[in-house]
């Protein structure tokens, strides 16, 4: 098999993102549910409302806790 160059009129496989700030024009959506509970490990806001009972974890800490439990054997 020989490697043949792609034809000059071939379209690229993917387009590059435009230069500039990738977060330009993005705003945080208004939270209609009110204030959020803080993560008990890192203090970041969670997906739960502030009046949620029990230990609340942010998505990152939830994933890390699941990894610890899965590997604890």
Beta strands in 1-73 (DSSP E): 36-38, 45-49
Residue 70's pLDDT is 86
Residue 42's pLDDT is 93
What string of pLDDT tens digits covers the 73 residues of the chain? 566 666 666 655 666 666 666 656 555 555 666 889 999 999 999 989 988 888 899 999 999 999 988 876 6
The DSSP H or E segment spanning 32 is none
């Amino acid at each position: 098999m020989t490697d043949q160059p792609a034809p000059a009129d071939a379209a690229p496989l993917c387009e590059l993102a435009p230069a500039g700030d990738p977060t330009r024009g993005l705003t945080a959506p208004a939270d209609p549910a009110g204030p959020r509970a803080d993560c008990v490990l890192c203090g970041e806001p969670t997906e739960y409302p502030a009046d949620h009972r029990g230990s609340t974890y942010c998505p990152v800490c939830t994933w890390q806790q699941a990894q610890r439990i899965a590997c604890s054997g």
